[in-house]
Chains A and B, each alone.
Chain A
Amino acid sequence: MNWFTKTFTSSIGRKIIMSLTGLFLCTFLVVHLIGNLQLFKHDDGVAFNTYSHFMGTNPVIRTIEWGLVLGFGFHIYEALMLTMRNKGARSHGYAQWQAKQNSEWTSRNMGILGSIILVFLIVHLYNFFWRARFGTLDADINHNDDLYKVVVTSFHQWWYVVLYVAAQASLGYHLWHGFRSGFQTLGLNHRKYMPLIKNFGYAFAVIVSAGFASMPLYFLFFTNENGALLTSAPAVLHQLALAFN
């Protein structure tokens, strides 16, 4: 092995890849969230479809998309490698284990949280990305693919909303630990700045996960199957009854 592979197969090297990919994925989350805010515009999805058309066809975005694939790929691969290493470091466990006395639940369960997010990701990609890119969708008034319609329909299925919200909760917890952890792994821990990084990370985790989770909830509770805003309580109840049928 040369120095390069040695570096990135060492325990710290793998962690560095985890943190670099993790923080890169955080930037993706920001872009994705801001873009998706178009869903809240009451224009029958015109803005959202324009945005998704741009994302699906712009060559720069399409190139970065490959970076994203690599980012996810390495993040997941290194997670597996590290988990195997860490499990192998203690083959005989304790009879009694009181880790809750000395650490946060989220930081000990990044693997579980990540796995939930991965399951969600597969469903999510199939439902939206795959269909937008490779399926045939109706066209909207601007002749863009009407992805908005797919979104609205999906978010009126209760199980899909539940999965979506649960995944966003997992993402929030994942980020709660992961954001500051990424900085720590890169050695960016300074007693002057660490409190700021920590608090920013907590805020980031809450805003991003709540932001994403608000979309399915909004559509489920407050719009009809066409995405039109419901204005009365009986209408909301009627809508919910449909969703759970």
Chain B
Amino acid sequence: MNLTSKAPEGPLAEKWDKHKFNVKLVNPANKRKYDVIVVGTGLAGASAAASLAELGYNVKAFTYHDSPRRAHSIAAQGGVNAAKNYQNDGDSVFRLFYDTIKGGDYRAREANVYRLAQVSVNIIDQCVAQGVPFAREYGGLLANRSFGGAQVSRTFYARGQTGQQLLLGAYSALSRQVAYGKVKLYTRSELLDIVVVDGQARGIVTRNLITGETQTHAAHAVVLATGGYGNVFYLSTNAKYCNVTAAWRAHKKGAYFANPCFTQIHPTCIPVSGDYQSKLTLMSESLRNDGRVWVPKTVEMAERVRKGEIKPQDIQEDDRDYFLERKYPAFGNLVPRDVASRNAKMMCDEGRGVGSSGLAVYLDFADVIKRTSAEAVSQKYGNLFEMYEKITDENPYQMPMRIYPAVHYTMGGLWVDYNLQTTIPGLYAAGECNFSDHGANRLGASALMQGLADGYFVIPYTIGDYLAQTAPKPVTTDHPAFAEAKAGVQARVEQMLAIKGNKTPDEFHKELGHIMWEYCGMARNAEGLKHAKAEIQRIRKEFWQNVKVVGSGEEMNQALEKAGRVADFLELGELMVDDALNRNESCGGHFREEYQTPEGEALRDDDHYAYVAAWEYTADNQPEVLHKEELVFENVKLTQRSYK
């Protein structure tokens, strides 16, 4: 079956305005008769909940955190893109659109991306009006910086804490609606199922994480803004609680899952230091502007470094391999994220990695310190150097940093049409949990932009179109589908508690993460993927026989929460592998070793794979069914990337 995006016809620049005019509206007096559930209170969720409440809808907002302010959007450092052209450097909506489509390696939907670029300017205005303290120039106007994948300065920022400030802005808007009584906030409530009545999303089942109570909630429509699934790899830059459960439950209730194998690996993370490692920390991409990436030339020397026999600063210039500068003389250390990541992995695979685990390369600032001064470097990167030292106990002014790539964003997610509606009518997906705007690779500073665009400026319009066609009758949880879904959730909890096995949820999660990282990570091949598929099936089977959770479901039980999330990751992981196996090309974050140019770059196959792969769940342990949404490019020309 081919999926259609429902993007309006007509010239690209007019699509959104035309669509806004054509969508049905809900009469202002009727809006209060509609209830909307928003799950997740990060950038997309909080902004959607606040905006919908401002319009007059009754909103119930859910988060598993103790407060909406803790959502992982808060950890985004760099900034948020917007086509304001405040710098007079030739930026425009079309240029932001073009950069995003190209950066995504031509695997995103043109109409969505253009709309994203259009509303980006409104995001900045909205956030400034909320009191978000963006960086400013001495003249008092907004400052910009440049980011990867763009030749203009269009990134707005608040030091290294842009995500935090934007989230606190959305959180404040949400809090205001809570005070007005238009949003009812449910904290520490985790979604465990979607309730579908007569083919339409009508509610959710949640578990109160403090009391363990299972609750059902009804509404006329449900919005999922539940983030990405990077934690399927166990180690990632995602927060510990980040999970796929909400999206996966929706998927199992009929929402298609699109491009699950598109994951982004960030090249500059602090490497793993031991088996106990629980998560990875990102070092800003900007470090590659001044740092030089290298490994020892020979395996023998690398071995001595790993054993601590020689220090990196004592290795002679001739014994170092600045591999990015060697292989990509034109771009050098500034090649895109995927290229930098893959090459670091290659060096470590050759046995030339450093650090006691051998899974790291050096990012060296000695040259820039010599050229300028330690002080100048500190002005630019002081806080990052400090954070690095805090974590590793090494002083990057004196010895090179050790970095290694890590998972930090997932472009794939629930398939949505132009209205951000999933294949379940009445169920919407916003932010990282949908697949819509980044194609096979996301540009820096675009995640915040997409989350807020979806929440503030897209969902509030498009959901009205659906609600206008729904009778404004009160909804209740009386329908048997609610009781059934609730019973299903409780049964699953009981099942996990009853196993009383020998392995903890974390142990299963680590095992899965290891498989995913090895075989479905930075570089994939058919053989490895097939092996991974079998392994994941084995681990999943073992999980349901041998997982160990103590206590009960009627109390705060963090191991039980974890077990539920791991169980869903164990199903998602297999789908990611299937998707990666299906896509016989390399594009963006998806690098299939069989498909590369003679120079070792990603080789796309636009004739056969210029589509969105949307997967339909059929039954447990059964292959999922592939549906394709063909991507049509009318406004950009597809080209091959080269960074030589």
Indicate yes or no for A touching B, C-beta below 8 A.
no
Interface residues of A (CB under 8 A from B): none
